[in-house]
């Protein structure tokens, strides 16, 4: 029971930190400010996260897991549509991917990533700041646990690119290297969104993202006509998934708020449980 309560408290801390990040920005995310938002003593937070670095690592894991989940759901959407079409035609789902199918999966994954950044700017901004900014916000040792999460995302993207090559949609090449280039290109275009606040012309994401993606795909041997035909569908799928994700998060937050009303400070109860255990141990 105590372990479950502790897990629930950590979940509440992480989600509250993400909301604080969204409403007040990266600079406002301090242990003191978070404790005030949660109505916890500062010392209580340090029982769950020993430092701000530890908290940031947990937040980065959560954000990258969400990005990975969104990308996986995007692929599942495309694969389910394909399975339905093959079943309707009386064909086996084991049939190799066609050029269009391999290319669509890559276009969807790319647009899902961009859509996450547009829909969840604070969470994306955390990744962008802590990974893309040349300043060292996290000590090297503290940041080490993030590496496996980054590798998982990279492996997913690499696999999708390799599948497109196997389908004949792209010419052979180093899929891992292409994954890094694709991620870097999307990351670079997304950084330009800040200029939009100042009315700078020519930096609209809805226009630049397809151009950047198209340029890369054509350079890797994709058919221009096929890319142009599939891009609107890829954007449509990514947008539909973004709406579903937003609705699901709002529902989860509403449920969390209800739980917090019933149990306003689970950390206090967790502390009491620990104290009770210590007393029992002393008696023993």
pLDDT tens digits for range 141-169: 767 778 888 888 899 999 999 999 999 99
The number of folded domains in the chain is: 2
| Same domain, yes or no: 172 and 44 | no
| Same domain, yes or no: 93 and 204 | yes
Model confidence pLDDT, tens digit, residues 102-148: 999 999 999 999 988 888 888 888 877 766 665 666 666 767 778 88
In a domain, 171, yes or no: yes
pLDDT, residue 158, reads 96
Sign of CA dihedral 12, 13, 16, 17: negative
In a domain, 278, yes or no: no
Quickly count: other Cβ atoms within 10 Å of residue 155's Cβ. 14
At residue 49, does pLDDT exceed 80? yes
At residue 282, does pLDDT exceed 50? no
pLDDT, residue 129, reads 73
- Mean pLDDT for the chain overall: 83
At residue 269, does pLDDT exceed 60? no
| Same domain, yes or no: 179 and 125 | yes
Report d(CA 282, CA 169) in Å as an integer: 69
Report d(CA 81, CA 241) in Å as an integer: 14
In a domain, 275, yes or no: no
| Same domain, yes or no: 95 and 166 | yes
When pLDDT is averaged across residues 60-84 and rounded to a whole number, the result is: 93
Which structural domain, as residue segments, surrounds residue 31?
1-50
When pLDDT is averaged across residues 44-72 and rounded to a whole number, the result is: 90
Model confidence pLDDT, tens digit, residues 229-267: 999 999 999 999 888 877 877 776 666 555 555 455 555
In a domain, 90, yes or no: yes
| Same domain, yes or no: 13 and 138 | no
Q: Are 151 and 105 in contact (CB under 8 A)?
A: no
Report d(CA 162, CA 58) in Å as an integer: 31
In the chain, pLDDT over 70 holds for what percent of residues?
Answer: 81
Quickly count: other Cβ atoms within 10 Å of residue 151's Cβ. 11
Per-residue burial over 224-257, b = 16 or more CB atoms within 10 Å of its CB, e = otherwise: eeebeebbeebbebbeebbeebeeeeeeeeeebe
| Angle between helical axes of 2-24 and 31-38 (0-180°, round to 10) | 110
Rounded to 5°, the CA angle 41-45-47 comes to 115
Quickly count: other Cβ atoms within 10 Å of residue 47's Cβ. 15
CATH number at residue 38: 1.10.10.60
Question: What pTM was estimated for this model as a whole?
Answer: 0.81
In sequence order, the 6+-apart residues with CB closer than 8 A to the CB of 168 are 99, 102
pLDDT, residue 48, reads 92
In a domain, 22, yes or no: yes
| Same domain, yes or no: 27 and 62 | no
The radius of gyration of the chain from alpha carbons, rounded to an integer in Å, stands at 22
At residue 277, does pLDDT exceed 50? no
With tokens 């709002």, the residue in question is: 250
| Same domain, yes or no: 222 and 195 | yes
With tokens 């999708």, the residue in question is: 160
pLDDT, residue 34, reads 93
């Amino acid at each position: 029971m105590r372990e479950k309560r502790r897990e629930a408290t950590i979940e509440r801390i992480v989600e509250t930190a993400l909301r604080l990040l969204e409403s007040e920005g990266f600079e406002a995310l301090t242990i003191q400010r978070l404790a005030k938002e949660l109505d916890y003593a500062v010392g209580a937070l340090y029982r769950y996260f020993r430092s701000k670095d530890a908290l940031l690592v947990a937040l980065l894991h959560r954000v990258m897991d969400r990005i990975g989940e969104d990308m996986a759901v995007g692929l599942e959407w495309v694969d389910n549509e394909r399975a339905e079409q093959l079943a309707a035609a009386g064909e086996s789902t084991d049939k190799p991917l066609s050029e269009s199918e391999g290319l669509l999966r890559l276009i969807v994954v790319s647009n899902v990533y961009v859509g996450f950044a547009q829909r969840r700017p604070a969470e994306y901004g955390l990744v962008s700041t802590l990974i893309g900014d040349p300043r060292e916000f996290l000590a090297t040792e503290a940041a080490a646990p993030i590496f496996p999460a980054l590798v998982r995302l990279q492996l997913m993207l690499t696999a999708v690119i390799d599948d497109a090559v196997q389908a004949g949609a792209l010419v052979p090449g180093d899929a891992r290297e292409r994954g890094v280039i694709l991620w870097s290109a999307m990351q670079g275009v997304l950084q330009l969104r800040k200029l939009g606040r100042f009315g700078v012309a020519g930096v609209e994401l809805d226009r630049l993202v397809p151009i950047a993606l198209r340029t890369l795909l054509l350079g890797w041997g994709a058919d221009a006509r096929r890319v142009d035909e599939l891009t609107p569908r890829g954007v449509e799928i990514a947008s539909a998934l973004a709406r579903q994700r937003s609705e699901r998060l709002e529902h989860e937050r509403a449920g969390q708020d209800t739980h917090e009303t019933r149990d306003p400070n689970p950390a206090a109860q967790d502390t009491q449980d620990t104290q009770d255990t210590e007393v029992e141990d002393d008696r023993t």
